[in-house]
Amino acid sequence: MAHLSIHHDRIDRETAETLVGICPFSAITYENGTLDINSGCKMCGICVRRGPAGAITMEEDAAVPPKINKDDWRGIAVFVDQQEGVVHNVTRELLGKARELAKVTGHPVYAVLMGHRIGEAARELLAYGADAVYTYDYPELARFSIEPYANAFEDFINKVKPSSILVGATNMGRSLAPRVAARFRTGLTADCTILEMKENTDLLQIRPAFGGNIMAQIITPKHRPQFCTVRYKIFSAPQPVENPTGVVRPMELAPEKLHTDTVILDMAEKPREVDISEAEVIVAVGRGVKNQGDLALARELADLLGGQLACTRPLIEAKWFDPKHQIGLSGRTVGAKLIITLGVSGSVQFAAGMRGCDCIVAVNSDPAAPIFDVAHYGLVGDLYEILPRLISLCKKEEHTHGA
């Protein structure tokens, strides 16, 4: 790591005004005769290269982190997201992906499960590819609480030393993963869309960056463990095996590690809403829909197909939909059996959120629209001409089967 060092003995008013003027981020200030660099600094180095010689220099930190012996870290671990013994499907998807990654290095696949009375859930996880399920079964862990859960997670890492850790990007996972990664001073890549393993056990973590304009490839070569979070429906869950060979390994945690200063006074069940991530059929609308009233046609098609209506980000910004109906990296990731997009251009962010659908049908008037690059079937034309015909065909099919 490097830092900027100000040599105050070489700073006078003229030098200070020059440095303030050349900083493109307004991060250099001069007040009461003192030059300072604030948090707006991007370490671009312009003040060093173009400023008065010797006034500000770039210094390398002397402290060098200890070199990690990668041979000491073995295995790919999956954090089990569960509530009251019910395992979230993202965990099964991550176990399937962990098995694929483990084939490259020959490492085992672990699951780390925290909760109370979780024996049945642990045995289920063996069927989805875990070689070992490490369980922390305590009454204090019956409900998610960040402090004891983080302590249990830390204990697991210290004792087992997994090389890579996959966490579902759920509310629980997003709360827990950063806290635990920080304890080990290691990297954490959020919302990965692609994971690949190198033979040297470095995990290649790929995710869109800069508004989806590039796909960033991130590795953590000098630290272990390697942390990443992955959204639900990015990967496919494997089929369970009938006679798993893995083992369940109960773990012990010191009583003081189960303590929390947070006291839960009451819990109220939130009314369950239909999640488009679970929908098997989706009709998604984009900016090609001219006004909000025209959504009735799209909703009719969705109803005829027994599906749900979804949208792109611009329609959220127009306040036509609740954000829970948005598909994309800043919305929901879906894996429907059928998705029909109407007037959707197909940005990188949107495509990443629905790429896992079995059948993608796109309707767009622009033959060069990016959505056709990912669609299985494309209809080029005015959606206001095509959509009524699709509705008519669905009604005809419904009538035929009904008769």
* 231, part of any domain: yes
Q: How far apart are CA 218 and CA 212, in angstroms?
A: 15
Locus of tokens 């009461």: 32
Residue 265 in any domain: the answer is: no
299 and 207 both lie in a single domain: no
Q: What is the DSSP string of 193-229?
A: SEEEE-TTS-EEEEEEETTTTEEEEE--TTSSSEEEE
Indicate which CATH number applies to the domain containing 44.
Answer: 3.30.70.20
Residue 383: count of CB within 10 angstroms of its CB: 24
**Separation CA 339–CA 348 (nearest Å):** 17
3-state helix, strand, coil in the chain (%, to 5): 35, 25, 40
Phi and psi for 128 in degrees, rounded to 5? -100, 15
Examine the domain organization and report whether 35 and 105 are in the same domain.
no
- The domain that contains 302 carries what CATH number? 3.40.50.1220
Q: Quick check: pTM over 0.85? A: no
In whole angstroms, give the CA distance from residue 98 to residue 203.
Answer: 11
Is 269 a member of any domain? no
Instruction: Using the 3D structure, point to which of 210, 230, 258 is the last residue of a domain.
Output: 258
pLDDT of residue 403: 47
DSSP classification of residue 140: G
Closest CA to 237 of 295, 283, 168, 190: 168
Q: Are residues 103 and 206 in the same domain?
A: yes
What confidence tens digit (pLDDT) does each residue in 262-308 have? 887 877 777 666 688 888 999 999 999 999 998 999 999 999 999 99
Count how many domains the chain has. Answer: 3
pLDDT at position 214 = 76
Tell me the HSE value of 392 on the side-chain side, using a 13 A CA sphere. Answer: 6
Q: Is residue 263 part of a domain?
A: no
Q: Name the token pair of 323.
A: 């954000």
Residue ending a domain, among 60, 81, 96, is 60
Q: Which long-range contacts (CB under 8 A, 24 or more apart) does 372-377 make?
A: 372/346, 373/346, 374/346, 375/341, 375/346
Considering the domain architecture, whether residues 243 and 133 belong to the same structural domain is answered as: yes
Whether residue 227 is found in the same domain as residue 293: no
Chain segment 2-58, per-residue pLDDT in tens: 789 999 999 999 999 999 999 999 999 999 889 999 988 988 999 999 999 999 999
Asked if 97 and 8 sit in the same domain, the reply is: no
Say what the pLDDT of residue 355 is: 83
Q: What is the residue range of 339's domain?
A: 276-402
Q: Residues 288-313, buried b or exposed e (16+ Cβ, 10 A)?
A: bbeeeebbebbebbbebbebbbbbbb
Residues 56 and 80 reside in one and the same domain: no
CA contacts within 13 A on the Cβ side of 330: 15
The answer on 128 and 176 residing in a single domain is yes
Q: Is residue 249 located within the same domain as residue 284?
A: no
pLDDT at 63: 54
pLDDT value, residue 233 = 87
Contacts for 66 with CB less than 8 Å, ≥ 6 apart = none
* Co-location of 246 and 348 in the same domain: no
Task: Report which DSSP code applies to 261.
Answer: S
Hey, how many other C-beta atoms are within 10 angstroms of the C-beta on 180? 24
CATH number, domain of 193, equals 3.40.50.620
Same domain, 85 and 217: yes
Residue type, 171: N
| 216 inside domain | yes
223, 258, 293 - which closes a domain: 258
Shared domain for 235 and 114, answered yes or no, is: yes
Mean pLDDT by 10 residues, the chain (403 residues): 88 93 93 90 91 91 70 96 92 96 96 95 94 96 93 97 96 95 94 93 89 82 95 90 92 93 79 79 93 92 92 92 88 90 90 88 94 94 92 80 54
